[in-house]
Chain A
Amino acid sequence: MKLVVDDLAADRGSGLIFENIGFSLGDGEGLVVTGPNGAGKSTLIRAMAGLLRPAHGTARIEDETGEWTDLAAASHYLGPINAMKPALTVRENLAFWQAFAGKPAMAIDEVQQTVGLEHTADLPFSYLSTGQRRRIAIAKLLLNWRPVWLLDEPTSGLDAASERHFAGLVRDHMKAGGIVVAATHLPIAVDGMKRLTFGEALPA
C-alpha cells in the first residue's frame, strides 16, 4: 500500500498557503511535518483527510488489494480537538466511535488499558484532565483498524511519560504496516521517520 501526495497546494481564501508538496509513503513508513505556526501543517493534514479541497494536486492511496480506495476512508484523523462528548462517559464515547467507524480492531477495555485509563471508563469525559482527554482521543486510533494515521499535534497536552508511550504506539502501528503522518512542533521519538519541514517565514 502506498500513500501518494502529488503536487499538493492549498488555498484558504487569501492566497496559497503552501504548494508543490509531493511525497509518497509505503507500508510501515512515517512522516513528521514540522514548521512554525501558520505555515500550513494543519492545513496539509486536513487536505489529506479530505476535509479541505486542495487548490491543486491530489492526495490518494494506492492499494494493490483494493481494500482501501479512498484516503479519507483509510485514515484515522486525530485533530487538535478530541472529538469526544463531555456529557457522555469515556466508554460511551469510545463505543460510539467504534460502532460508527466500522472494522473494529480492539475491545474498548483493552484500548483503555493500553493508554492506562481503564479506571475512568464510567466517568463522564468532562471529568478528565487535559492530558487524560488526549490519551483517550489517542486510544480511539486503536479502536478500529485504519492503515493511515493523520495526526495533528497529537502530543499536545501530554506529559513526558505519555509522550514516550504514544511514540511506542506509533512505532507499533508502523511495525504492523501502517502509515503515519504527524504534524507537530514537538519531536516524536520514533526513528526512521521522514521529515517535511515548512520553512521559516521569509521576509517579503
Chain B
Amino acid sequence: MMALILRDIRIGVRAGGGMLIGILFFLAVITVVPFGVGPDLKLLARIGPAILWIGALLASLLGLDRLFQADREDGSLDLLIMAGHEHPLALTVFAKCVAHWLTTGLPLVIVSPALGLLMNMEPAAIAATTATLLAGTPAITFIGATGAAIAVALPRGGLLVSVMVLPFVIPVLIFGVMAAYGAVEDPAPFLQPFLLMCALTLFFAALGPLAAGAALKGSSD
C-alpha cells in the first residue's frame, strides 16, 4: 500500500501540472470574486470563508476524474483489480485517495491562508477556515473517488463527476463554512459544526472507497 501511495505522489508531483493547475485554478477563482462583488473590503472579509471554501471545492473537483482514468489507460488498473486477493480493492482506492489528497488537496490548504489575506480576512477567520479546509477537503476526495470510479469508463467524464459528486459535498461545504463563521461570529459555535464535518470526512473515508471499489470491479468488463 505504501508503495502505491509513494508512486502516486511521485506521479502527482513529477508529471507537473496536476498539482500546480489546481492551485492556479484556486487562485483564479479567488481573484475573480473582488471583481464580481466589487472591492468592498468589509464585504470581502465577510464572505471570505465561503469564497475560500467554494474555490477549494471547485479546485478539488477539477482533477478528480483522472484519479482512476490514468491507471485505466495504461493498464495498471487491471493489475490493481487483479491484486484484490492480496490488497482489497477498497484499500487500494483508499491509498490512491490519500496520495491524491496529499498532492492536490493539501497544497490548496497550504495556500489558503495567503488567499485569505487577499480577501481581507481576520487572522482568526483565516486560521479557522484553514483548519476546516484541512479536515474537510479529504471528504471531497473520498466521495469524489466514488464518482471517478463510476465514470472511469467514460472518455469525458470530468463534468459528469462534478455533477454526481456535488450533492454529496454540499453537507461538507455547509458545515465547513458554518464552522469557519462560528470562529469569528460570536453566538455561533465553532466546535459543533467542525466536529460534524470531521464526522462526515470519516464517514466518506469509509463509504467512498468501498463504493469506488465496487464500481471499479465492474468497470473491467
Is B221 touching A83 in the complex (CB atoms < 8 A)?
A: no
Chain B residues touching A, range: 20 to 34
Q: Is A97 at the interface (CB under 8 A from chain B)?
A: yes
Given A81-B74, A82-B74, A99-B3, are A87 and B15 neighbors across the interface (CB < 8 Å)? yes
Q: Which of the candidate stretches A47-55, A112-120, A167-175, A179-187 sits at the interface with the other chain?
A: A47-55
For A70, A85, A95, A97, the residue with the greatest tally of chain B CB atoms inside 10 Å of its CB is: A85
Residues of A within 8 Å of B76, CB to CB, are: 83-85
B interface secondary structure, majority: helix
Considering the complex, give the chain B residue whose CB is closest to the CB of A101: B83
Residues of chain A from 61 to 90 with CB closer than 8 A to chain B in the complex? 70, 72-73, 75, 77, 79-88
Is B11 touching A85 in the complex (CB atoms < 8 A)?
A: yes
In the docked arrangement, what's the CA distance between A70 and B74, Å?
Answer: 25
Considering the complex, give the chain A residue whose CB is closest to the CB of B72: A81
Residues of B within 8 Å of A82, CB to CB, are: 74-75
Is B75 touching A87 in the complex (CB atoms < 8 A)?
A: no
Is A100 touching B4 in the complex (CB atoms < 8 A)?
A: yes
In the docked arrangement, what's the CA distance between A95 and B2, Å?
Answer: 12
What 0/1 readout, one digit per residue, does chain B (65-98) give for beta carbons within 8 Å of chain A?
A: 0000000011110110111111100000000000
Is B83 touching A80 in the complex (CB atoms < 8 A)?
A: no
In the docked arrangement, what's the CA distance between A49 and B82, Å?
Answer: 7
Interface size, chain A (Cβ < 8 Å): 30
Residues of B within 8 Å of A50, CB to CB, are: 81-82
Is B85 touching A70 in the complex (CB atoms < 8 A)?
A: yes
Our pick among B2, B10, B78, B221 for the contact of A12 (Cβ within 8 Å) is B221
Q: Is B156 at the interface (CB under 8 A from chain A)?
A: no
Considering the complex, give the chain B residue whose CB is closest to the CB of A50: B82
Q: Is A41 at the interface (CB under 8 A from chain B)?
A: no
Is A96 touching B3 in the complex (CB atoms < 8 A)?
A: yes
Considering the complex, give the chain A residue whose CB is closest to the CB of B16: A87
Residues of B within 8 Å of A135, CB to CB, are: none
Residues of A within 8 Å of B73, CB to CB, are: 81
Considering the complex, give the chain A residue whose CB is closest to the CB of B70: A85
Residues of A within 8 Å of B42, CB to CB, are: none
Considering the complex, give the chain A residue whose CB is closest to the CB of B2: A99
Q: Which residues of A contact B (CB under 8 A)?
A: 12, 46, 49-53, 70, 72-73, 75, 77, 79-88, 92, 95-97, 99-102
User: What are 5 inter-chain pairs, A to B, with CB distance below 8 A?
Assistant: A72-B82, A77-B79, A87-B11, A96-B4, A99-B3
Q: Which residues of B contact A (CB under 8 A)?
A: 2-4, 6-7, 10-11, 14-15, 73-76, 78-79, 81-87, 220-221
The 9 A-B residue pairs whose C-beta atoms are closest, nearest first, are: A81-B75, A99-B3, A73-B85, A83-B75, A51-B220, A87-B15, A83-B76, A96-B7, A79-B75
